[in-house]
Amino acid sequence: MRKGADKMHKDQETRLELVRALIQEKRKTTLAYSQYLAKNREYAPGEQLYMREVHFVIAVGPGEGHTMSELAEKLDVTQGAVSQLAARMEKKGFVQRRKAAGDRRQTVATLTAKGEALYREHTLYDRARYQEISEMLGRFSERELRRLWEYENLMGAAFTKENRRNVT
């Protein structure tokens, strides 16, 4: 009986060590990604932009545009953050804002010609990067990729829950 308990304890310790190592790798990846997001890049010729700004343009997309509320939901940020991004991107000439026809309290952001050009360029850029990453992850089966996605989803939920718990 003792031998079985020892094996179970060893298995549990091995699993905990693996989880610890996984969390350490998650931390490294998160830091690298955070640094990547914070870097100003030339996403459009002669234009230094942050990834958040480019993602704002992608969220607005071509067409009739979106309200600040819709964009906040789409980008998972506050309406204040979206309003600041909209003002910055309007100043840079990528979007224009106007009052919604049906509800003057709502502001709608639409892309300018410059914004549409950035949208097209970045959509192609994203597709090429996704292809590169897909090839890099080629050794993983579709099932394994779904499990990785599930892991990221669970970790995101855990950290979101912890962040809410620690709000003062």
Q: What's the gap between Cα 106 and its chain centre?
A: 25
User: For 29-80, what is each residue's pLDDT tens digit?
Assistant: 999 988 988 899 888 788 899 999 999 999 999 999 999 999 999 998 999 9
pTM assigned to the model: 0.79
Q: Is the pLDDT score of 168 beyond 60?
A: no
- Residue in 50, 47, 34, 57 with CA at minimum distance from that of residue 110: 57
How far apart are alpha carbons 2 and 10 in whole angstroms? 12
Answer for the pair 106, 117: CB distance below 8 angstroms, yes or no. no
